[in-house]
Amino acid sequence: MTDRLKDELLTLALEAARRAGALLRDSRPADLGVAATKTSAIDVVTEMDIASEKLITGYLSEARPDDGFLGEEGSSTAGSSGVRWVIDPIDGTVNYLYGLPAWAVSIAAEIDGETAVGVVEIPSRGETFRAVLGEGAYVGDRRLEARPAPSLEQALVGTGFGYVTERRAAQAEIVRNVLPRVRDIRRGGSAAIDLCDVACGRLDGYYERGLNPWDFAAGELIAREAGARTGGRPGESLSTELAVAASPGLFEPLQQLLDELGAWHD
C-alpha cells in the first residue's frame, strides 16, 4: 500500500465524485421518478442512481481497467489489481427523489481488502470530504477533528432507518429508548453524510442497523481519520449488523447502550 498508489486513488476518486455530483445536481429531471425498487416498495432506485454509477465506473475503469468494483446499483467485478472501488452513486436516494438536499456521492477504494481512500461529495453543501488511511481527514483544505466527547446525556446523535417494515418497527423501538437518554436525535437520510458530520463535529455520534458496505466505506474512513471511533457490537467491527461512530469518550457509552437495547437485531 504505497503512498503513490493511495495518492493516485484519491485523485481518481475526487474527480469521479466531482463529475457524478455535477451530473446529479445539474441534470436532475423535473419529473424524476422511480426506476426500480429493491428490498421493499419504498426502497427505490432512480434513473439518476443508474446514470451516476455508470459515470463513476466508466471513468475509473478507463483509468484503472484491472480494478474491481462493488456498487449499490449492481456493479460487481473482482478485478485483478488488489484494488476494489466501493461506490454509492447516490447515498440518500429518497432525499434526492423528493428534492431534499441531504444526498451524497460516496466512493471508497480498498487495497487488499482494507479501505485506503474515501471521498464523500455533497453538492448541496458545496463540500467534498476526503480521507486517506493514516493521513487524516479533510473537507476542502480544512483538516477535520471530531467534536470533544460530551456525556451521553448531552450528545446529539444521528441515526437512520431501513426500508423493511419489521426492521423499521424494531428501529422505532430503539429510538424510543435512546431519545430520553441523549440531547436529541437527528435523522438525515444519508449514512455517508452522517458519518462525515461526526467527523466534522456536527454530530457527536451516529448509529444504524442494516447498512451495506457502499453506505459506510468512505464515511467510516473519514470519521476514523478525524479521530472518531467506529465499530459494531462491543469488540466487533462496524458491519451491516450495527454501525456506531462517535467521539472518543462517547463511543463506548453509546455502543453499550445500543447493545443493551438490542439495536443489532430486528
For the entire predicted model, the pTM comes to 0.96
Which among 3-12, 32-41, 73-82 has the top mean pLDDT?
3-12
What is the structure's pLDDT at 129?
98
Confidence at residue 42, expressed as pLDDT on a 0 to 100 scale: 67
Average pLDDT over every residue of 63-80: 93
Q: Which of 132, 137, 105 is nearest to 7 (CA)?
A: 132
Give me the DSSP letters along 186-242.
E--S-HHHHHHHHHHTS-SEEEESS--HHHHHHHHHHHHHTT-EEESSTTS---SS-
Q: What pLDDT sits at residue 123?
A: 98
Q: What is the pLDDT of residue 97?
A: 93
Predicted pLDDT at 43:
66
- Fold topology of 3-143: Fructose-1,6-Bisphosphatase; Chain A, domain 1 (3.30.540)
- pLDDT at position 39, please? 79
Q: Find out whether 78 and 42 touch, Cβ atoms under 8 Å.
A: no
Per-residue pLDDT at 194? 98
Q: Is 1 a residue whose pLDDT tops 90?
A: no
- Residue 30 CA to residue 7 CA, distance in Å, equals 38
Report the CATH fold assignment for 152-261: D-Maltodextrin-Binding Protein; domain 2 (3.40.190)
Q: Is the pLDDT of residue 36 over 90?
A: no
To the nearest whole number, what is the mean pLDDT of the chain? 95
Any bridge partners for residue 71, and if so which? 87
- Dig out the grid coordinates for 29 from the structure: 429531471
Which of 185, 214, 3 lies closest to 90 in space, CA to CA? 214
pLDDT tens digits, one per residue of 100-159: 999 999 999 999 999 999 999 999 999 999 999 999 999 999 999 999 999 999 999 999
Please return the burial class of 177, using the count of CB atoms within 10 Å of its CB with bins 0-12, 13-18 and 19+.
middle
The ranges of the chain annotated as CATH 3.40.190.80 are 152-261
Q: Where in the chain is the domain with CATH 3.30.540.10?
A: 3-143
* pLDDT tens digit sequence for 37-66: 777 776 668 899 999 999 999 999 999 999
Q: Which run of H or E residues covers position 109?
A: strand 104-111
Tell which wins on pLDDT, 1 or 7. 7
Q: Is 37 helix (H, G, I), strand (E, B) or coil?
A: strand
pLDDT over 80 (residue 3): yes
The pLDDT assigned to 27 comes to 94
Burial 146-164 (b: 16+ CB within 10 A, else e): bbebbebeebbbbbbbbbe
Length of the chain: 266
